[in-house]
Amino acid sequence: MNRIYLDYAATTPLCEEAFVAMKPYFSSAFGNADSVHSFGREGEKGLLAARDAIADLVGAQSDEIYFTSGGTEADNFALKGAAAASDKRHMVISGIEHPAVRAAAGQLRNFGFEVTEVAPDREGFVSPDSVREAIREDTLLVSVMWANNVFGTLQDIPALVSAAHDGGALFHTDAVQAAGALEVTADCGADMISFSAHKMYGPKGVGALYVRRGTRLFPLIAGGEQERGLRGGTSNVAGAVGFAAAFGRAVKNREEETGRLRLLRDAFYSAVKACDGFRPVGASDFSRRHPGNLCLRVEGVTAEQLIVALDMRGVAVSAGSACSARQSEPDGALMALGMTRQEARECVRISFGKDTSPSDVEEAAAAFADAVNRLSRKR
Ligand code: PLP
């Protein structure tokens, strides 16, 4: 059976460029980047070059890039690192954040921090005015994601940055889904930006936090002096090198790839539009959502039923964040749009990527329509 992967928002396959760049660091250039001998220097050289390349791609200085184990750690580092370095005791996050931000904020609550959650509108947009209203004198940080991982809605980051800064707060954005597919640079004004390599055809287990110079952070992982003393642990040189290669490739191809993904996404949408009782979730203006994201709710059919039915037809889609995919609870971001638990359970995410072809879209859309029709008839 031909298998069609339409879950690029969960993870992406490693691109050839990253694979080739990483290989030497698993064999001849295996040295610990902190060792003083020539083996170590080789590792250090790879790490420095990767940091410089990523800094260049995001319009930052090299010393503003901190490597992490991925997007989850970058989010935790931003929220908890900032909280531990400040006397301020209040934070604002949006209601549609990834579990990495929500759970980090939840832990801070347990340590006496107050967290205000700002509700989005029904399409997932977070208004700068609602952020302004939530900010208090003791607000340390505002965190709003760039592109939502379930329904793809894109935020007006510069406007949200202004709202935070006008209120004297720092601004963090989780750009894990956006980076690579869209232009994400320090020019947006954010003080911290989270990245993850495996969403842009890089390796799993590596990411970065951009930290604007002058932003105070406490080290989340205590240990050695790696990452300028802010993140202990032997450096993942191969991961960083693969991340830089994948990021470079993504930025180089971005414009062309974004246009191609939009066409594929729109073609899928047009092909399944006639399905009974179904509606798009997230931004109705498709130019204001991630180019590779489609999220649909099929009334009366649970995402779980549809995912299994599609899997049996060789098509891989998902219900929401892979981090919560095995839980019976629907993704919190969907309920933040004002859906009931049952409605949120009926949402599937279809995400397109570099290996998706027009014929994949045609085949997957036919499988989708067939599965929906059969499942609807069973109701
Ligand atoms: N933030 C967002 C928006 C994501 O989509 C993900 C991954 O699903 C993460 C954070 C976590 O990134 P990682 O898997 O690198 O820990």
Q: What's the pLDDT score for residue 242? A: 98
Tell me if 293 sits within 8 A of 280, measured CB to CB: no
Instruction: Kindly give the distance from the C-alpha atom of residue 188 to the centroid of ligand 1, in angstroms, as a whole number.
Output: 20
Which residues have C-beta within 8 Å of that of residue 307, sequence separation ≥ 6?
317, 318, 319, 348
Instruction: Kindly give the distance from the C-alpha atom of residue 176 to the centroid of ligand 1, in angstroms, as a whole number.
Output: 6
- Is residue 176 lining ligand 1, measured as CB closer than 6 Å? yes
DSSP 137-179: TTEEEEE--SB-TTT-BBP-HHHHHHHHHHTT-EEEEE-TTTB
Q: What's the pLDDT score for residue 330? A: 86
- Looking only at the bridges linking them, the beta strands covering 90-94 and 114-118 are parallel
Q: For residue 140, what pLDDT band results from cuts at 50, 70 and 90?
A: very high
Q: Torsions phi, psi of 182, nearest 5?
A: -130, 165
- Is residue 149 lining ligand 1, measured as CB closer than 6 Å? yes
Whether residue 282 has pLDDT greater than 60: yes
Q: For residue 321, what pLDDT band results from cuts at 50, 70 and 90?
A: low
**Cα(331)–Cα(343) distance, rounded to whole angstroms?**
11
**Cα(240)–Cα(246) distance, rounded to whole angstroms?**
10
Q: What's the pLDDT score for residue 274? A: 83
Percent over 90 (pLDDT), the chain: 93
- Is residue 293 lining ligand 1, measured as CB closer than 6 Å? no
- Across residues 243-254, what is the average pLDDT? 98
How many of the other CB atoms lie within 10 Å of CB of 127?
17
- What confidence tens digit (pLDDT) does each residue in 23-65 have? 999 999 999 999 999 999 999 999 999 999 999 999 999 999 9
The full set of domains in the chain, from first to last, is 4-12+255-377 (3.90.1150.10), 16-248 (3.40.640.10)
- From the centroid of its chain, how far is CA 349? 14
Q: What's the pLDDT score for residue 325? A: 52
Instruction: Kindly give the distance from the C-alpha atom of residue 141 to the centroid of ligand 1, in angstroms, as a whole number.
Output: 20
- What confidence tens digit (pLDDT) does each residue in 332-365 have? 999 999 999 999 999 999 999 999 999 999 999 9
Q: Which atom of ligand 1 is nearest to the CA of 204?
A: 15
The radius of gyration of the chain's CA atoms, rounded to the nearest angstrom, is 21
Q: For residue 91, what pLDDT band results from cuts at 50, 70 and 90?
A: very high
Q: For residue 322, what pLDDT band results from cuts at 50, 70 and 90?
A: low
Q: For residue 328, what pLDDT band results from cuts at 50, 70 and 90?
A: low
Determine whether 188 is an active site residue: no
Q: What's the pLDDT score for residue 300? A: 93
Q: Which atom of ligand 1 is nearest to the CA of 197?
A: 15
- Is residue 100 lining ligand 1, measured as CB closer than 6 Å? yes
Q: For residue 276, what pLDDT band results from cuts at 50, 70 and 90?
A: confident
Q: For residue 123, what pLDDT band results from cuts at 50, 70 and 90?
A: very high
Per DSSP, what are the bridge partners of residue 118? 94
- Is residue 70 lining ligand 1, measured as CB closer than 6 Å? yes
Catalytic residue among 15, 275, 323, 347: 323
**Mean pLDDT of all residues belonging to the chain:** 96
Q: What's the pLDDT score for residue 323? A: 53
**Cα(18)–Cα(238) distance, rounded to whole angstroms?**
9
| Paired tokens of 204 | 């799993």
- Across residues 104-119, what is the average pLDDT? 97
